[in-house]
Amino acid sequence: MFQERCLAGSAMSGLVDRKVAEFLRRAVLEFPGIVPVVDEKLTPFEILVVTVISQNTNDLNTERAFKRLRQLTSITPQAIAGLDVEALEEALKPAGLYRNKARVLKEVARQILERYQGDLSKVLEKPAEEARRELLSLPGVGYKTADVVLLFSKGYPFFPIDTHIAKITKRLGLVPLNADYEQIRLVWQQIFKPEEYLPAHLNLIHLGRVYCKARNPKCGECPLSPVCQKVGVNA
């Protein structure tokens, strides 16, 4: 099949066939997205905090933990660094892994105070790649957290990859099964324009939840099915 040859070639070369890319772009942008826990009303530090909280949990638990934290204290580096660790852990309990998340948030808050006088927006005044390197140097901040902060706070052109998006990309056959975060990110950055990264990111997450589930995916109903190789689905 033509589409299969195109996708197989793209997985090996890192380049996405033009026709496949345009199909994916249209299908994803037309798919209804989700209302993000992260929004433009949050400060960069609040976005970082909610992204750390969201790790290995769902949106409902993330929102519950974030609201509990807001009720406890203002979400600033100064407040988090000075907060009693047991109180912080208690607020984060709904999101799971609360001890580890509390430790990460305390340490990252402390470093933001030391390095940026408590103002994370200073990082976002720097050029995109430099700002990303600075964020990645903070404890507990990986590629996804850094890219969410950069995209949602400043519109910097980085496409965040979560578990849903990684799963979709591999099943489509756009990357090898052992592809890392950066390989997957660069594929989607070929497909979408920078101003489309945010809606496409949200739409892909929603698509992953509705159709491209880890177990029993609804391939027959999925809008990406015409170009999907379904890699690993029946394995």
Write out the DSSP string of the chain.
Answer: -HHHHHHHHHHHHS---HHHHHHHHHHHHHS-----SS-TTS-HHHHHHHHHHTTTS-HHHHHHHHHHHHHHS--SHHHHHHS-HHHHHHHHGGGS-HHHHHHHHHHHHHHHHHHHTT-GGGGGGS-HHHHHHHHHTSTT--HHHHHHHHHHHH--S-----HHHHHHHHHHTSS-TT--HHHHHHHHHHHS-GGGHHHHHHHHHHHHHHTS-SSS--GGG-TTGGG---TTTT-
Q: Are 37 and 63 in contact (CB under 8 A)?
A: yes
Residues of the chain with pLDDT under 70: 1-14, 33-40, 235
Amino acid symbol at 59: D
pTM value surpassing 0.85 = yes
What is the domain class of 44-154 according to CATH? mainly alpha
Per-residue pLDDT at 84: 94
Per-residue pLDDT at 36: 61
Q: Are 83 and 110 in contact (CB under 8 A)?
A: no
Per-residue pLDDT at 16: 85
Per-residue pLDDT at 58: 87
Per-residue pLDDT at 210: 93
Does domain 2-30+159-227 fall into CATH 1.10.1670.10? Answer: yes
Closest CA to 139 of 161, 97, 106, 116: 106
Torsion of Cα atoms, 104 then 109 then 114 then 118, to 10°: 160
The ranges of the chain annotated as CATH 1.10.1670.10 are 2-30+159-227
The ranges of the chain annotated as CATH 1.10.340.30 are 44-154
Helix, strand, coil share (%) of the chain residues, nearest 5: 65, 0, 35
